[in-house]
Amino acid sequence: MFEGATGALTNLLYDIALAAKIISGHVRRAGLTDIMGSVGQINVQGEDQQKLDVIANETIKNAVAHTGRVSVLASEEEEYPVTTNLGSGKGSYVLLFDPLDGSSNIDVNVSIGTIFSIYRTINKDCAGLTDCLQRGREQVAAGYVMYGSSTVMVYTTGHGVHGFTLDPSIGEFLLMNSDIKTPLSGKYYSVNESNFTRWSEGYRQTVLCFKGAGGEDNMRKNARYIGSLVADFHRNLLTGGVFMYPRDNKSPNGKLRLLYEANPLAFIVEQAGGAAHDGLNPILDIEPTELHQRTPLIIGSSEDVEFVRRKVAEVESAQ
Ligand code: P6P
């Protein structure tokens, strides 16, 4: 505990861990109870809202909204920020989250995840949208929960990255990896190659290098793409590699969300010795302007991320 600390952040992380245990229980029972599939509604993202999305979103809101610790929260499933503590907007922290990322994979039993990002409240009288639109560099904590073969929680508070595994027999997260460091370079590249024809030439040449066909054979890597961000990120964090969701002519701002997907994972990967950028600048330096804004994302091992940045710049400056 640091001098002057109240324990509020620690307790907020416990609140999130409690929500994760509840969500994990639902995910593990999906298929046995009527919670798989769609609710027949479209969410604010224009995506077919899955029942587990709604359950996860409500679970996290209920775990934090009345504790006095969170002033305002924002979720991928909520169009606007939600002022908490009976609408007072008072509380030390701001919580941004994607309650269940990759939920389209639920019905086929592929790993999915919760991603969260925590900031200090700026407007002490009544927090709101501006408290949510802070640069990623200002995060005080970030993490994710992956509901996979086991349920793992990985987080940072700016003092290293730490991984926990849920022991269902006692209902507690147990520390498994303290101070995770990601390799400087890895054997995997992760990208949806069906977008190849939509990319700029720089990204096409970069991926050809990863395939051993771009003239930089030392950059040849294995392709691994699950299509669930938390699962792809977690594998690359532990084994090394680079995940890419570049801008393309279908998604000119990229697909992934800055505030509750890219920023928290960027904070984690930088704390683990890796890097994250949007093709030009570090993710954590982006000044947010909208709650659900998208960003291109290149994230993972520092040497691999730098290779992507350098190769794309080299190819596109020569055009
Ligand atoms: P695509 C899942 O829908 C998600 O938001 C991330 O979890 C994942 O990395 C990405 O989209 C996959 O997108 O276009 O490759 O299917």
Distance separating alpha carbons of residues 83 and 78, to the nearest angstrom: 12
Structure tokens at 293: 């804004």
Helical H segments across 146-293, by residue range: 201-210, 229-239, 263-271
Query: For residue 256, which atom of ligand 1 is closest to its CA?
Result: 5
Could you read off the pLDDT of 258-317 as tens digits, one per residue?
999 999 999 999 999 999 999 989 999 999 999 999 999 999 999 999 999 999 999 999
Q: How many domains does the chain divide into?
A: 2
* 192 CA to centre of ligand 1 in angstroms: 9
For residues 166 and 280, state if they share a domain.
no
For residues 151 and 208, state if they share a domain.
no
* 228 CA to centre of ligand 1 in angstroms: 6
For residues 308 and 232, state if they share a domain.
yes
Nearest CA to ligand 1 atom 4: 102
CATH number for 48: 3.30.540.10
Residues spanned by the domain of 22? 8-177
pTM of the model: 0.94
* 104 CA to centre of ligand 1 in angstroms: 9
Under a CB-based contact definition with an 8 Å cutoff, are residues 267 and 142 in contact?
yes
Q: Is residue 182 part of a domain?
A: no
CATH number for 236: 3.40.190.80
Find how far residue 169's CA is from the centre of its chain: 28
* 318 CA to centre of ligand 1 in angstroms: 31
For residues 38 and 165, state if they share a domain.
yes
Helical H segments across 146-262, by residue range: 201-210, 229-239
For residues 25 and 50, state if they share a domain.
yes
**Residue 46: predicted pLDDT:** 72
For residues 41 and 71, state if they share a domain.
yes
For residues 104 and 223, state if they share a domain.
no
Nearest CA to ligand 1 atom 9: 229
For residues 273 and 293, state if they share a domain.
yes
Query: For residue 98, which atom of ligand 1 is closest to its CA?
Result: 5
Tell which one of 49, 194, 245 to mutate to probe ligand 1, the residue whose CB is within 8 A of the most ligand atoms: 245
**pLDDT of the chain along its 319 residues, tens only?**
455 667 899 999 999 999 999 999 999 887 666 666 677 777 777 776 668 899 999 999 999 999 999 999 999 999 999 999 888 889 999 999 999 999 878 888 899 999 999 999 999 988 999 999 999 999 999 999 999 999 999 999 999 999 999 999 999 999 999 999 999 999 999 999 999 999 999 999 999 999 998 788 789 999 999 999 999 999 999 999 999 999 999 999 999 999 999 999 999 999 999 999 999 899 999 999 999 999 999 999 999 999 999 999 999 999 8
Query: For residue 104, which atom of ligand 1 is closest to its CA?
Result: 3
- Examine the fold and report which residue of 177, 212, 238 is the final residue of a domain before the chain moves on: 177
**Taking CB atoms and a 6 Å cutoff, what residues make up the pocket around ligand 1?**
101-102, 104, 192, 227-229, 255
Nearest CA to ligand 1 atom 13: 227
Long-range contacts of 211-215 (CB under 8 A, 24+ apart): 214/311
**Residue 89: predicted pLDDT:** 86
* Average model confidence (pLDDT) across the chain: 93
For residues 194 and 298, state if they share a domain.
yes
For residues 194 and 268, state if they share a domain.
yes
